[in-house]
Amino acid sequence: MTDRFSFDLHATDGKARSGVIRTPRGEIRTPAFMPVGTAATVKAMLPESVAATGADILLGNTYHLMLRPTAERIAALGGLHAFMNWDKPILTDSGGFQVMSLAGLRKLTEEGVTFKSHIDGSRHHLSPERSMEIQALLGSDIVMCFDECPALPADRDRIKSSMDLSMRWAQRSRDAFGDRPGHALFGIQQGGLEQDLREESANALRAIEFDGYAVGGLAVGEGQEAMFGVLDYAPDQLPVDKPRYLMGVGKPDDIVGAVKRGIDMMDCVLPSRSGRTGQAFTRHGVVNIKNARHQDDPRPLDEACTCPACRGYSRAYLHHVFRANEMISGMLLTWHNLHYFQDIMAGMRAAISAGSFAAWEAEFHRQRAQGDI
């Protein structure tokens, strides 16, 4: 075990990299997919089930937890790890993104943002300082800077002024975070789809110095082509020896494309959220289990998958429990999706270490082109 936060690169294959992030609460194998546990739970999963899928780290969120049950209450109960019974690493987002996407009546100034809770309408305030305080109260191992993530499309002036604000807030986040051995603070690159603004943002963050760097401001409606266009240069603008975290991504082919371009960490609600709606991701493509064509199908979702849903249940059963709106439906499909996403990550880690990422990627795409699933 270690009392420090560190990142070791083990292998590269093209721009793809594999390695390990060491924290006092455990190691994170990279490239890593991080399940989203917004309100102190990965929905429909027990923590031990999340660990069983292969996840080394999960996510919590400042915005949701400050509203309910409040960061002070979680701190009084021993912190987020004890509260949610997860003793491995936790990364928390800083809250700015959710304020802009969920809260009402927002007022944004240089100092920070005031807003009304989407839960009960109460008034709240977030700033770099308050976000650092909340994330310290939660006790998260990896803390995200308080930033502003502009919605796309946006004109260049808006992107520039927003990025400049986020860089001033990054400095304030760094100052407020202080010196907390074993805890990491990640900066978040902004700049929209503008290469020069992203370069400016990367240089500003590098001058402040962070333990890791996120590529922010993406997966906000720009589409895969535009996102990959940014990822063709943005990771290389960031320090090579620190983890690179692409926020909010994504579908399986987004994830593979991001790792291919040098990303080490990703998060997305897709596997859990779509699992609850009956959408299963498999190596042959997506299966919408509520579709009537599955009602007599004795096969598992994915013959090659070793998760509890695929080992113990038929498509016919999964179809039935979704149609009957039974609670086990969301549990089984969420578990399968998270397990499959971790399978993809494990496959890429092994391929990068073996220098066979290109072959692995070709097989990944060939399997998905098989049509009827």
Ligand X SMILES: CNc1nc2cc3c(=O)[nH]c(N)nc3c(CC[C@H]3O[C@@H](OC)[C@H](OC)[C@@H]3OC)c2[nH]1
Q: Using CB under 5 A, which residues numbered 321 to 340 contact Zn ion? A: 336
Q: What is the closest distance, in whole angstroms, from the C-beta atom of residue 124 to Zn ion in the complex?
A: 40
Residue 25: how many other CB atoms lie within 10 Å:
20
Decide if residue 230 touches ligand X (CB under 6 A). Answer: no
Is there binding between residue 247 and ligand X (CB under 6 A)?
yes
Alpha-carbon distance 326 to 227, whole Å?
37
341 touches ligand X (CB under 6 A): no
Shortest Å distance, C-beta 313 to Zn ion? 9
Place of tokens 């928390």: 92
Taking Cα atoms as reference points, which of 161, 143, 164 lies closest to residue 212? 143
Please state the closest distance from residue 39 (CB atom) to ligand X, in A: 9
Choose the contact partner of 188 out of Zn ion, ligand X, none; CB within 5 to 8 A by kind: ligand X
Compute the residue count for the chain.
373
252 binds ligand X (CB under 6 A): no
Which DSSP category does 243 fall into?
-
Q: Dmax of the chain from CA atoms?
A: 60
Site string for ligand X, 91-120 (x = CB under 6 A): --xx-xx-----------------------
Residue with smaller CB distance to ligand X, 108 or 316: 108
Closest approach, Cβ 306 to Zn ion, in A, equals 7
Answer yes or no whether residue 248 interacts with ligand X by CB under 6 A. yes
Q: Which of 128, 127, 133, 106 minimizes the C-alpha distance to 117?
A: 106
Q: Would you name the residues annotated as active-site residues?
A: 93, 267
Query: In angstroms, rounded to a whole number, what is the distance separating the alpha carbons of residues 14 and 351?
Result: 12
Q: How far is the CB of 230 from Zn ion (least distance, A)?
A: 32
Looking at the Cβ atoms of 197 and 321, the one nearer to ligand X is 197
Q: Return all residues near 304 (Cβ < 8 A) that are at least 6 apart.
A: 283
**Amino acid identity, residue 86?**
W
Spatial strand order of the sheet with 113-116 comes to 104-108, 113-116, 123-126
The smaller minimum CB distance to ligand X, of residues 174 and 294, is found at: 174
Q: With the CA atoms of 156, 160, 162 and 163 taken in that order, what torsion angle do they form, in degrees rounded to the nearest 10?
A: 130
- Residues lying near ligand X in the complex (CB under 6 A): 36, 38, 59-61, 93-94, 96-97, 144, 147, 149, 188, 216-220, 247-248, 267, 269
- Site residues (vs Zn ion, CB under 5 A): 305, 307, 309-310, 336
